[in-house]
Structure 1
Amino acid sequence: MGKLGYIFRCIAHMDYGALFQTVGDCHDKSGKNRVWLFADVVKCGFKFGAGYKDYSLLEFYNMNDAQRATFVTRGVNNTIVRRLNNPEYYHLVDNKNEFYEFFNEYLHRGWLHFSTCSKEEFLAFMEGREQIIAKPSDLCCGQGVEKLKVADFDSLDALYDYLKGSGADLIEDVVVQHPAMAKIYPGSVNTIRVYTVRPEDGEPHVIYACIRMGNSDRPVDNINAGGMYAVVDLETGKIAGPACDKEFHVYERHPRSGTELPGYQIPMWDKVMNLCHAAAAKIPGMGYVGWDVAITEDGPLFIEANNLPGHDAFPQMPSQAPDHIGFKPQFEKYLGKL
């Protein structure tokens, strides 16, 4: 009932207006009959676990069923999560405070659980600090994250009141990224999203990595917040091709910095891989995790982790999979038939 239950939940909560808009958009791009497209979207939902957003983003209307079966859709991704991740341990990554405590040795920055601290503890933490990052406890995709400068407030008391009013849960040091990472785009901390799987044999494997880059006025690099991503070669740590975003734009160079992306060397790559291997082996009950890694001059560190790693960062966009072969076979090397 797992797969069917997931499909029926999607049907019950579907935004039908957006569904019909997607059918219209696919018709405009492909010229195919709207009725046929609607029926095909429904079929792909049942057969491949593909939502209408998957259908559009991956251009399923241009593929046959054998090709579609190779893609990690939303439903396939959720199947992997259900198979490898125990919900009893989700709190270790969902709750930022618990994540920070559990993985404190990998954070390499000062932080404070603001929502539970006293004002005196806050003032002591702020001594010598000119700016901080404030985060809510349980939002994702960069939502609610703010970079705050002490100089923008009349006093630390005013900053404290602002943080209380905004619902901040954690405050922490601003991560200063490695110059080679800042060269890509200095407006955000550009992170490496590393996907690890730990199948039933207990041995963790890095299965995929991509670099996420900001491309907006917000200090975040999330794909769902206007950012872009590019595949990173696991062996060399070099960017393996152009970047793309969720609007189907493809970038050989970063549009704001002008930095050429294909072939760009990510610094300290071996240390990034070692960090994620160690964390994947340490965390209990979680066999499929997406680790967000920043790289500073002192080495890599964790920003956060995800127990439902987004499948939209896999190299499956039309420009990345011109042969219409998706990423699912890479998972099946370790997990068997999905």
Structure 2
Amino acid sequence: MRVDVETLVRKSIKKAARYKFDKHHESQARTIFKALEKKHGKTDPVNLRLADTYAQEVLGDARYAPWLRVYTAFTGTFKEGWIPDNYYGTVVVPRMKGLYGDISGLKSLSNIIFSSDTFPDIAYFVNGLFFTANHIAVPESEVEDLVFANSEKIVFKLDSSFQGKGILFFNRQTFNVDTIKSLGNGVIQRFIVQHPLFNDFASNAVATLRVTSVVDDAGLISIRACFLRLGRVADTHIQPDREICVPVDISSGKLYAQGYLPDWMALDEHPDSKIKFDGISVPAFPECVGVVLELHKKIPFARCVGWDLTVDKNGSVQVLEWNAEHNDVKFGEATQGPCFTDLKWERLRPLSKT
């Protein structure tokens, strides 16, 4: 029998990547679980057994139990329908997005897909060429004047730059065409001066609203989760290992009374500005929701998208990024979920076993 070496190698690489992915999630979940139990005491073992059983019998594998255990420890009970983050990444993402999800990592395509002025894109650098936001090639000698024509400060984001990575800030004095070229493909955006309400929390890092939208089996688009990401006083932009996440009521736009540190420890005020979360509403929240619903209509093939928005000083909605790859669902599931029970994602199985 002929052995297809190339196929065997690919399967081996895929299996190793899957193992690494699951071990990373297991480690992250266990760290948070220990922190929660240290703070709140032991979780009811009956609920933990329900989580373990659900992972094995409903989702199909015990490796999905760690995040279910975190959700259980966080809420104090077990809820059927929860989607563990590693199950989302390995099962839901391939089946509900496929290659269409990967498109969101290519920053220069946003204007082509959406044709929306809600994106603060000024220019793109792609494969050795600079382009305007309308994808017209620009000589290198004209790039600086283009990007600073209406902005004193700009942001450069590399393709596939998510979670605060691959983001740099420039003004005229620090900007250099050769530096951009050395970094790689990406988008140049104008720097957003955020709404005063966000500025009061932390003035340096632009606060972002993470909105998760889905396309159901009837093709209808809806919002399933939302939280506000706030930076710390010394941060130039949101850092995942330092951010404060505050759930937002998707029906009203009001912040929950408590926000959470990266280790999921609760707090009722921003640790730097000391502003309390309770009673505050996100500015222009209906407009934020409206923008997300309209934009998702233009890329419905990716059936779950995480949108990073902000509201500027004039009250206008600005879309900073969209993530149709493995957008974070674990925080929304723990604080607002189960968010996807009607979609029956728990019945999905991997496209292929490794």
Identity over aligned pairs, percent: 16
Q: Does 1:286 align with 2:340?
A: no
1:132 aligned to which of 126, 140, 154: 154
Per-residue deviation, residues 277-321 of structure 1 (Å, max 9, x unmatched): 1112121411111111111114112111111220232151xxx5x
Shifted more, 263-272 versus 20-29: the winner is 20-29
Per-residue deviation, residues 98-140 of structure 1 (Å, max 9, x unmatched): 1243224143534111242131241331344421101111221
2:19 aligned to which of 11, 16, 28: 11
Cα distance in 2, alignment partners of residues 235 and 24 from structure 1: 29
Aligned position for 1:267? 283
Aligned position for 2:8? none
Aligned position for 1:309? 327
Contact 1:190 1:212 in 2 (8 A): yes
Contact 1:19 1:52 in 2 (8 A): no
Corresponding residue SS for 2:109 = helix
Give structure 2 stretches of 5+ with no counterpart. Answer: 1-13, 44-48, 131-138, 348-354
Aligned position for 2:4? none
Cα distance in 2, alignment partners of residues 160 and 8 from structure 1: 39
Distance 1:123 1:12, change over 3 A: closer
Contact 1:84 1:198 in 2 (8 A): no
Corresponding residue SS for 1:314 = helix
Equivalent residue runs for 1:137-176 within 5 Å: 137-151=159-173, 153=174, 159-167=176-184, 169-176=186-193
Corresponding residue SS for 1:97 = helix
Aligned-residue offset at 1:167: 3.3
Counterpart residue type for residue 229 of structure 1:
C
Aligned position for 1:84? 96
Contact 1:241 1:263 in 2 (8 A): yes
Q: Does 1:93 align with 2:114?
A: no
Cα distance in 2, alignment partners of residues 160 and 309 from structure 1: 31
RMSD of aligned alpha carbons:
3.7
Q: Does 1:245 align with 2:257?
A: no
Per-residue deviation, residues 250-290 of structure 1 (Å, max 9, x unmatched): 22111112221122111111111111111121214111111
Q: Does 1:333 align with 2:346?
A: no
Aligned-residue offset at 1:181: 2.1
Cα distance in 1, alignment partners of residues 187 and 74 from structure 2: 44
Distance 1:214 1:40, change over 3 A: same
Cα distance in 2, alignment partners of residues 299 and 106 from structure 1: 10
Normalising to structure 1: TM-score of the pair? 0.77
Give structure 1 stretches of 5+ with no counterpart. Answer: 1-5, 33-38, 321-325
Counterpart residue type for residue 111 of structure 1:
I
Per-residue deviation, residues 16-65 of structure 1 (Å, max 9, x unmatched): 9x859948984984689xxxxxx99987764556557626744659978x
Distance 1:56 1:161, change over 3 A: farther
Cα distance in 1, alignment partners of residues 319 and 64 from structure 2: 31
Cα distance in 1, alignment partners of residues 253 and 28 from structure 2: 41
Distance 1:61 1:337, change over 3 A: closer
Distance 1:13 1:244, change over 3 A: closer
Counterpart residue type for residue 192 of structure 1:
L
Aligned position for 2:246? 230
